[in-house]
Amino acid sequence: MIDIINLFTRTLSGFLEASLITIQLTAVGLILGTLLGLIFALFKISQSKTLRSIAALYITIIRGTPLIVQISFLYFGISSVIVLSGFWAGALALGIHNGAYIAEIFRGAIQSIDKGQYEASSSLGMTKTQSMRRIIFPQAFKRSIPALGNQFIIGLKDSSLVYVIGVAEIYSIANMEAAQSFQQFEAFFVAGLYYLALVMMFSFLFNRLENKLDVEKVR
């Protein structure tokens, strides 16, 4: 226990900087993933066969290949076409990867809305776009909050994989500390504490959001 406390104190500044990078990676990846998820969810439920095929291809490829391969591909594989920094290669990979899962979350939530809602909005003279924006998507978003919360937490933990391209996030710092001090147990235990703190923060924010939406729904 004393060794863990000593390592925690000695590496505090390094792990705090790494935690900030982890948060930034996760934030960029999840914002991009949410945007891609919404776009491809709409493609998936589109009446256009071409758009549905594009969405199905994207989701199949991304969900069928490991994230660590996608990160490596964006950093090493396309370097002859465009050179990305480790941070942006990792953030883009996280965004593209999460987008495939978020697309299915949004698709399921949208399709769970009763068809009578579409008919009611149509009878009020709304176009399909207006109906989706004003009636369907707000309800679908509320229903998707629990699943989105889980996916965001998974995205946070998945950010540890960018250590393979040299980004100095939490796991990377723990790995370097373990190699230098030979305190493997203590280094990874401390890293686990930082990840746990970030996950608890995300969980708290999503629980607040879910409770707020529930209150508004009751009102």
Query: What would the two tokens of residue 182 be?
Result: 């030979």
- Calpha distance 94→88 (Å, rounded): 10
- Calpha distance 167→90 (Å, rounded): 8
pLDDT in tens, 172-206: 999 999 988 888 899 999 999 999 999 999 899 88
How large is the average pLDDT for residues 4-15?
86
Q: What is the pTM of this model?
A: 0.87
Q: How many domains does the chain have?
A: 1
CB 169 within 8 A of CB 162: yes
Look over the chain and give the mean of its residue pLDDT values, rounded to a whole number.
88
CATH number at residue 30: 1.10.3720.10
Residue 161: pLDDT band with limits 50, 70, 90: very high
- pLDDT for 216: 45
| Residue-by-residue DSSP string for 165-207 | GT--SHHHHHHHHHHHH--HHHHHHHHHHHHHHHHHHHHHHHH
Domain residue limits at 179: 2-218
